[in-house]
Structure 1
Amino acid sequence: MVSSTKIKSVDFYRKIPRDLTEASLSGAGLSIVAALIMMLLFGMELSSYLEVNTTTAVVVDKSADGDFLRIDFNISFPALSCEFASVDVSDVLGTYHQRMFLSSYMIQYMMYLLPLTELGPRGTGAEFHSGLALHNINYGEEIHGEENKEEFPDGAIPLTNGSFEAFSHHFPLLIVNFYAPWCYWSNRLKPSWEKAATIIKQRYDPEADGRVLLGNVDCVEEAALCKRNHIQGYPSIRIFRKGSDLKEDHGHHEHESYYGDRDTDSIVKMVDGLVAPIHPVTHKLALEGISNDTAKHLKKAPVTGGCRVEGYVRVKKVPGNLVISAHSGAHSFDTSQMNVSHVVTHLSFGRLMSPRLLTDMRRLLPYLGQSHDRLDEKAFINEHELGANVTIEHYLQIVKTEVITRKSGQEHSVIEEYEYTAHSSVAQTYYLPAAKFHFELSPMQIMITENPKSFSHFITNLCAIIGGVFTVAGILDSIFHNTVRMIKKVELGKNI
């Protein structure tokens, strides 16, 4: 067996008997200072160990071919009706989608005549859908020649701003064709409309029966009347009701729009379906209601001229365009009267992040997420005079940022953030005014990698701090002690 004496011989820390050591005030003070320095350096080293370190690199975008990018948007248009608002998405590869928005909402304002600079998304009404796609509308056979024109004279009553209110309060049903003389689709509708109005006048005599009247409004001559009813596309067929369906809202009635076929038989069938539930004597609604076949072509007309378009689209990661404008395959628009001023409530690219995740990521990088919503809560107003055909364009350059963490020696992609720069312009155009968002993704991406610290490195630094401070304090104490002894010897020699 190895004796304890031999084991003691390898002791690095040989002890001096306590009787041979001497404590001093200077040593005690230096020990306290050394202990405080050790605690301070320990706290700094612990904070450095807990702090997340990252490295940032710019690399070629690692997105795979065929990856899609999500665009979320919430944009308010005070002067673009939901009846015709649409979102078109296209890219340089030729991919094209039309009317891709999830939903559109009518903007509700205190008064619709407020200046645009005072308007804002103060609230929303019920979700609005125009229903059937207005592309394959049946107009029937067009009437040509003077002979046919005399056979079916104008049956619809011309309405003016003065007579409109009187007729709408007198007849249980007032069905109005808001048209423009220069409009191709209005001229296509006119023969069928006048023929249908003549048939309806003979079937439901306005004086003897008095349940329905068909009228026309020339929106060039009666611009104020059309504006008050938020007519933005021509022709627009609106159904105004009297009695229980009459609701005053700043001088406006709740009414419906007709989106069905525009041939004579379809119009007459629509009117018959609306008239049937109304008692011919009392003009009260009967219990059976309107037929489903008639109701499917009727939608509540917009009660304001504004619209909020909200939703998302998924696009390929190539340069493209997001365009919001009026669109219809069976209406004409007076471009000189259109206004696409808008307020961007929200516009972002990529997956939406929860506030908690965004907060955690900002712990890694304080500046992360500061440029992913550059256009939010910004207004873009057309200040040109009416008739200028103004398009508002936004040029967006998008950069992808990917954050990678390391856990258990393996890399994990935590988040993909898309930040962008935005430059906007207002320009006159010969085409239909629109709000255009041109987006282009950078071929480079920013990669942020987390660098976790080794625990063994932390322990090594901790030992170095304790040992180093202890050693330096010992050296200082020894120097101070020897200096005092030398001074005392010198003074003692002088006294002798």
Structure 2
Amino acid sequence: MGVKQVLRAMDAFPRAEEHLLQKTKSGAFVSIVGLVIMSTLFLHELSYYLNTITVHQMAVDLRRGETLPIHINMTFPSLPCDVLSVDAIDMSGKHEVDLDTNIWKLRLNSDGHITGTEYLSDLEEKEHKHDDHKDHHDDSDNKTHMQGFDQDAENLIKKVKQALAHGEGCRVYGVLDVQRVAGNFHISVHGLNIFVAQMIFGGTTHVNVSHIIHDLSFGPKYPGGHNPLDGTERILRGASGTFKYYIKIVPTEYRYLSKEVLPTNQFSVSEYFSPINEFDRTWPAVYFLYDLSPITVTIREERRNFLHFITRLCAVLGGTFALTGFQVLQIQQVSCSNTRLLNHPSAFLITG
């Protein structure tokens, strides 16, 4: 036996001669359906392979001495910009002398349209104290008793009352860079002298701290990231009060396929509302109290293994090809059987 005969004997896919093959319309239909199925499965597997996946890993956060960026974008529809202030407090007890702020205020009319812009220069840096806003107003009381109202205070009172009468609001936005330790910041009327605030609002229960949080984040956004406070609306219809948002920040690194690393943070939040009555000495405010998790999360983009893609592709395409080939073979066998039956002499019955 020659080499060619040996190779032919090892052929696992013998083919019938051309004159033994019979092509039918039904077989062509099955073939077309099979091609459509195989094309669809191929595109699906290719899309599955090209799409990136993300892998999450956790480790102890070892970073030190960095700052924490706080991106703020909020609207206070019932408070003019002249009375709003942002107070940042470092819970470590140290004075934040190097706090870098870039906060702006946009004046809004009753329809929510922007009518003016100003830089927020009344940002206050404080050490952590218990009930610090009470201490602030107590200091303001003493100063007012000693100095009394001046012309600036009277002009401010008149200006703010007119703004309130016209339904003016304020939008606060920008970036607040703080030390990477637990702390809080709040937006309120605490920057006002207490007697000036009394002349403007007539009491703590008349300070409407209704607000809309358009964006609040602790770092740049990353693919698939979600900030739970974005789009939050808290509109007061009755008595005023203080809103407190307790935020747990999780340091996060996002690693792209290009090996680029994006340092950021994600967070969870719970909120609490405390109503204020006319006998309370505290003034309504919106507090954001944040703490940092000791665990950091690394989100890494990855692409699926190419050999895995080839294996899945061969499985689905080969399976579809085999199934359609089996159906075509059955159709051809039925067609050949019918042909032989019709050509057999006993298939014709002659009646007289």
TM superposition score category, shorter chain reference: 0.5 to 0.7
Aligned residue number for residue 136 of structure 2: none
Shift of 1:305: 8.6
Change (3 A) 1:230 1:477: closer
Aligned residue number for residue 68 of structure 2: 69
Equivalent residue runs for 1:199-218 within 5 Å? none
Q: Return the TM-score normalized by structure 2.
A: 0.65
Q: Between Structure 1 and Structure 2, how many residues are aligned?
A: 314
Alignment gaps of 5+ in structure 1: 110-118, 134-181, 194-214, 220-224, 232-248, 251-302, 385-389
Aligned residue number for residue 7 of structure 2: 10
Change (3 A) 1:380 1:321: farther
CA distance in 1, matches of 2:142, 2:172: 28
Aligned residue number for residue 430 of structure 1: 281
Change (3 A) 1:494 1:92: farther
Does structure 2 conserve the Cα–Cα contact (< 8 Å) formed by 1:397 and 1:422? yes
- SS across alignment from 1:458: helix
Shift of 1:320: 1.8
Which among 146, 150, 158 is matched to residue 228 of structure 1? 158
Alignment gaps of 5+ in structure 2: 125-139
Aligned residue number for residue 416 of structure 1: 264
Equivalent residue runs for 1:170-319 within 5 Å? 184-189=142-147, 227-230=157-160, 308-319=171-182
Change (3 A) 1:383 1:69: same
Larger C-alpha radius of gyration, 1 or 2? 1
Which among 368, 371, 387 is matched to residue 228 of structure 2? 371
CA distance in 1, matches of 2:159, 2:294: 49
CA distance in 2, matches of 1:41, 1:341: 56
Aligned residue number for residue 141 of structure 1: none
Aligned residue number for residue 90 of structure 1: 89
Q: Which one has the bigger helix percentage?
A: 2
Aligned residue number for residue 44 of structure 1: 44
CA distance in 2, matches of 1:41, 1:307: 55
- SS across alignment from 1:90: strand
Identical residues among aligned pairs (%): 21
CA distance in 1, matches of 2:115, 2:180: 33
Which among 303, 306, 309 is matched to residue 452 of structure 1? 303
Q: Which amino acid aligns with 1:102?
A: N
CA distance in 2, matches of 1:412, 1:216: 56
Q: Which amino acid aligns with 1:47?
A: S
Shift of 1:322: 0.5
Shift of 1:42: 2.1
Change (3 A) 1:485 1:413: same
CA distance in 1, matches of 2:91, 2:70: 17
Comparing 393-402 and 65-74, the one that deviates more: 393-402
CA distance in 2, matches of 1:350, 1:446: 14
Shift of 1:420: 3.8
Change (3 A) 1:92 1:7: farther
CA distance in 2, matches of 1:343, 1:310: 13
Change (3 A) 1:489 1:435: closer
Say if 2:113 is the partner of 1:122: yes
CA distance in 1, matches of 2:153, 2:269: 46
RMSD: 4.8
Change (3 A) 1:415 1:490: farther
Change (3 A) 1:61 1:307: farther
Aligned residue number for residue 34 of structure 2: 34
Q: Deviations over 1:368-394 (max 9, x none)?
A: 43635243xx3544833xxxxx65222
CA distance in 1, matches of 2:14, 2:151: 114
CA distance in 2, matches of 1:446, 1:477: 55
Aligned residue number for residue 351 of structure 1: 219
Does structure 1 conserve the Cα–Cα contact (< 8 Å) formed by 2:85 and 2:188? yes
Say if 2:11 is the partner of 1:53: no
CA distance in 2, matches of 1:433, 1:347: 21
CA distance in 1, matches of 2:37, 2:120: 72
Change (3 A) 1:420 1:120: farther
Does structure 2 conserve the Cα–Cα contact (< 8 Å) formed by 1:322 and 1:438? yes
Aligned residue number for residue 264 of structure 1: none
Shift of 1:452: 1.0
Aligned residue number for residue 22 of structure 1: 21
Shift of 1:486: 5.7
Does structure 2 conserve the Cα–Cα contact (< 8 Å) formed by 1:88 and 1:100? no
Shift of 1:187: 4.3
- SS across alignment from 1:127: strand
Q: Deviations over 1:311-369 (max 9, x none)?
A: 3222344432102344569885555635252434544122344xxxx6xx2xxx4xx43
Q: Deviations over 1:185-237 (max 9, x none)?
A: 344337xx9xxxxxxxxxxxxxxxxxxxxx99998xxxxx9843548xxxxxx
Say if 2:182 is the partner of 1:337: no
